[in-house]
Amino acid sequence: MCGAPGSGKGTQSDRIVEKYHLAHLSTGDLLRQEIATGSELGKLLDSFISKGNLVPDDVIIDILAKHIDSLDADCAGVIFDGFPRNVAQAEALEKMLAERNEATSVLLDLQVEHDELITRLLNRGKVQHRSDDNIDTIKQRLVVYEEKTRPVNDFYKNINKYQAVDGMGTMEEIFERIDSILKQF
Ligand code: AP5
Ligand code: MG
């Protein structure tokens, strides 16, 4: 599940998990869990996240490999939410899965207008306390998205696994669009 900050990756992943009984791996959530423990690693992670920059790839790949191997062998599949975040992570994911005789099925790219992204994130900033939901950090997250994450779309287009999803509208409408794609798998 890919898309800019605030595009609805977490919201839609929760709905998909409910319907299809998949495991949900959000690298952002895993990083925030580590930060909440107050560990030294958490403090280091927050120094990247609160500025809107990506956490180094080796840290992410390490966290992810551990979680993939601890998943229930019977789970129907996995949604990666907010990962891969750059082309190096996409290559690492494909390699990691191939080594386990698994493969990705599809990249869903949630497309949302710029102003709507900012509105959603500022609204969430008023009720939740994420260190990155303030206007300066949101702007940097969007710059990083354009520079580092958007090229991941081309990576999946090249291997015929890319699907754009209109991410504007109500949560229900967007879920219907995603569901019509997922039914094919
Ligand atoms: P991450 O946690 O992945 O955050 P993000 O990409 O910035 O995206 P968000 O979680 O803010 O938004 P979302 O797309 O999940 O939308 P949501 O459903 O919450 O990453 C955070 C940071 O961690 C990164 O900046 C980086 O530092 C680090 N990181 C994470 N993964 C990494 C990786 N792989 N490599 C390196 N670093 C990594 O919706 C947003 C809001 O909008 C919510 O309040 C929601 O209720 C609302 N909303 C949702 N849908 C709608 C709708 N249709 N209409 C109105 N409101 C809506
Ligand atoms: Mg999220």
Residue range 137-183, pLDDT digits in tens: 999 999 999 999 999 999 999 999 999 999 999 999 999 999 999 99
Report the sign of the C-alpha dihedral through residues 27, 131, 168, 114, in that order. negative
d(CA 34, CA 167): 29
Q: Are 2 and 108 spatial neighbours (Cβ–Cβ below 8 Å)?
A: yes
Nearest to 107 by CA among 170, 160, 166, 69: 160
Task: Report pLDDT digits (tens) over 39-86.
Answer: 999 999 999 999 999 999 999 998 888 888 888 877 889 999 999 999
Sorted by sequence, the CB contacts under 8 Å of residue 78 that are 6+ apart come out as: 22, 23, 24, 25, 68, 71
Whether 9 is in the pocket of ligand 1, judged by its Cβ within 6 Å, is yes
Nearest protein Cα to ligand 1, atom 2: 28
pLDDT, tens only, 119-134: 999 999 999 989 999 9
Which ligand has its closest atom nearest to the C-alpha of 4? Answer: 1
Q: In terms of pTM, does the model score above 0.85?
A: yes
Domains located in the chain, CATH noted: 2-182 (3.40.50.300)
Q: Is 117 in the pocket of ligand 1 (CB under 6 A)?
A: no
Q: Hey, what are 39's tokens?
A: 């560990």
Closest residue to atom 34 of ligand 1, CA basis: 83
3-state secondary structure of 65: helix
Alpha-carbon distance of 114 to 66, in angstroms, equals 34
CA 111, chain centre distance (Å): 13
CA of 77 to the centre of ligand 1 (A): 21
Ligand 1 close to Cβ of residue 79 (< 6 A): no
**How far, in Å, from the CA of 79 to the mean position of ligand 1?**
14
- Cβ of 109 below 6 Å from ligand 1: no
